[in-house]
Amino acid sequence: NTPLAFAYQGLPMRVVLGTGALGRLADEIDHAGLERIMVLCSPRQLELATMVAGLIGPRAVDIHPHARMHVPAESAAEAQRRAKEVNADGCVAVGGGSAIGLGKIVALRYGLPVIAVPTTYAGSEMTPVWGLTENGVKRTGRDPRVLPVSVLYDPALTVALPTDVSVTSGMNAIAHAVEALYAPDASPVINLMAEEGVRALAAALPDVAADGTDLDARARAQYGAWLCGACLGATTMSLHHKLCHALGGTLDLPHAPTHTVVLPHALAFNQGAAPKAVAALNRALGTPADPATYLWDLAGRLGAPRSLRELGMPESAIDRIVQVTLANPYANPREVTAEGLGRLLRTAWAGQPPT
Ligand code: NAD
């Protein structure tokens, strides 16, 4: 038994959650002292961003609907140029991790505060982590300036999120909490948030999948996503996130579905070496069964992808992913070897139950 010891750095988080939260946007803009807002979104969320700009009124000086997955450098440069052109003094990022990721880069490069209105469960809004993709390589870094000044979670805005995206995005969030529970820099506060985040999301996702217009289920899923995102922001991720990063970066596999497929396998790999995390997950999931199998079953019940093959990964790429994942060392509860990783990837590729 190791004696209790930890370091915990609280992040300044201003969060408003609940139906109607978006109505608080003007107040949040006042609170941040902003006068010229650029609204950022992905192309498909233009209608939503236009509605949000309408709520902001004359202080919305531009709508920039060009956010793309993993923040390509050209897209970042274009947003930065536009922010300068319209003389923006802040951004409202509406949408998923792509829109919020773009806002973070503008914050990093140009110093503009970001207010986030998340509509997926990816959790980027809760972290000081930015990402930028240049020549096919995604770099990430931590900087407190990219942490949004306010976050508004309004479940009504997530009703349009399709069931498949809701489920994979929710599993993406659960992955943050799972890895926070065995992170090298875990702490008691984050453990509580992680356990509660998994509890909330695992209970909400079946309800969301059954009825995407159920605002209570949507709010509970956002509550879980908030907690899981905060865990991601506060700790260092291990094998699961490194593996997903390698798969996304090398093969361009879709972000949330990749997390959904890999999570049960990465957890099964680590479970034996992380008994406290397993105990927390079992409490959260309300089952004596092993959590990795529970999450694999949950993904199946909710119709989510369970094989890397169905995400378009060729079997021949397994060895390359093993090499990329092993290239840089990182903390993990269990030693990661080429053989163990190869076995994990072959099981995940074929869609077999985690072992
Ligand atoms: P995303 O923002 O691309 O959204 C996923 C899909 O959902 C898109 O097709 C989008 O159009 C759609 N969508 C979003 N909101 C919708 C709505 N209300 N109605 C209908 N459709 C909607 O992707 P994501 O999964 O939210 O985020 C993934 C990205 O975020 C990746 O680039 C990932 O690396 C990054 N990320 C970063 C962090 C961080 O801490 N920096 C954390 C998590 C994710």
Question: pLDDT digits over 313-342, tens only?
Answer: 999 999 999 999 999 889 999 999 999 999
ipTM entry: 0.99
What number is the average pLDDT over the span 52-66?
A: 98
Around ligand 1, the residues with Cβ closer than 6 Å are 42, 44-45, 69-70, 95-99, 101, 119-120, 122-124, 127, 129, 131, 157-158, 160-161, 165, 169, 232, 255-256
Task: Give CA–CA dist 281/234, Å, rounded.
Answer: 18
Distance, CA of 103 to CA of 52 (rounded, Å): 15
Position 123 in a domain = yes
**Burial profile 156-174: b = 16 or more Cβ within 10 angstroms, e = fewer:** bbbbebebbbbbbbbbbbb
Q: Please state, in angstroms and rounded to a whole number, the distance separating the CA atoms of residues 355 and 352.
A: 9
Number of domains in the chain: 2
pLDDT band at 249 (very low <50, low <70, confident <90, very high): confident
Q: 174-212: per-residue pLDDT in tens?
A: 999 999 999 999 999 999 999 999 999 999 999 999 999
Nearest by Cα to 294 from 191, 286, 304, 240: 286
Q: Are 56 and 92 contacting, i.e. CB atoms less than 8 angstroms apart?
A: yes
Please give the number of the atom of ligand 1 that sits closest to the Cα of 129.
41
Residue 6 within any structural domain of the chain: no
What span, in angstroms and rounded, lies between the C-alpha atoms of 351 and 349? 6
The confidence score (pLDDT) of residue 136 equals 75
User: How many residues make up the chain in this entry?
Assistant: 355
Q: Are residues 300 and 205 in the same domain?
A: yes
Residues 174 and 93 in one domain: no
Q: How high is the pLDDT of residue 288?
A: 65
27, 130: one domain? yes
Q: Are residues 21 and 98 in the same domain?
A: yes
Whether residues 290 and 241 fall in one domain = yes
Distance 256 CA to ligand 1 centre (A): 8
What distance in Å separates the CA atoms of residue 312 and residue 299, rounded to the nearest whole number?
18
In a domain, 9, yes or no: no
Query: In terms of residue numbers, what domain contains 294?
Result: 163-350
For residue 232, the ligand 1 atom closest to its alpha carbon is 40
**Same domain flag for 149 and 179:** no
Instruction: Give the pair of three-digit tokens for residue 332.
Output: 């993990």
What one-character-per-residue DSSP string does 124-162 give? GGG-SEEEEEETTEEEEEE-GGGS-SEEEE-GGGGTTS-
Q: Best substitution site from 255, 263, 311 to test ligand 1's pocket, by max atoms within 8 Å of Cβ?
A: 255
pLDDT tens readout for residues 91-124:
999 999 999 999 999 999 999 999 999 999 999 9
